[in-house]
Amino acid sequence: MLSTDSIRIISKIHGHIYRISRGRIGKRFGKLGFLLLTTTGRNSGKSRSVPLPVIPVGPNYLLVASFGGNPSNPAWLLNIRSNPEVCISFGSKRIRSRATIIEATEPRYEELWGKAVAKYKGYDDYKKATSRQIPIVVITPDGM
């Protein structure tokens, strides 16, 4: 498991490369596609962007708040709790969207978790590495 500092550094570099290449570099690692999620900082009010693995499900997208199995939730999830209005980017295409957090206690969770693990088996390792419940976020583009 990577430390939170390592994840933040890798994410910052990945996001920078993704942005300057307009998604041509960094949009895919293995089977996983990536998007750029932009949230509003819960304390600063500033736009905060982070590259994340994405699982398309119909017109929506799933994001797993695993934070590499670390004990705390990622900052982007805390920002969504404060303001669910987000923007997702695929390359240079930006889509205004709404984020819905699905907790492990909710009926839909197991189905969505299964879809996530089918795409990336490492999520199960992250789940075993942490005592917290890992939320799943459903991103719904505006107008859907």
CA–CA distance, 93 with 39 (Å, rounded to integer): 16
Instruction: Look up the CATH number of the domain holding residue 61.
Output: 2.30.110.10
Mean pLDDT of 23-49: 85
Asked whether the whole model's pTM tops 0.75, one would answer yes
- Contacts of residue 136, defined as CB under 8 A and 6 or more positions apart, other chains included, come to 62, 63, 64, 65, 101, 102, 109, 112, 113, 116
* Domains identified in the chain, total number: 1
Residue 10 contacts residue 3 (beta carbons within 8 Å): no
Give the domain extent around 49.
4-141
End-to-end CA distance of the chain: 36
For 96-122, the pLDDT digits (tens) are 999 999 999 999 999 999 999 999 999
Cα–Cα nearest to 61, from 29, 87, 91: 87
Is the predicted pLDDT of residue 71 greater than 70, yes or no? yes
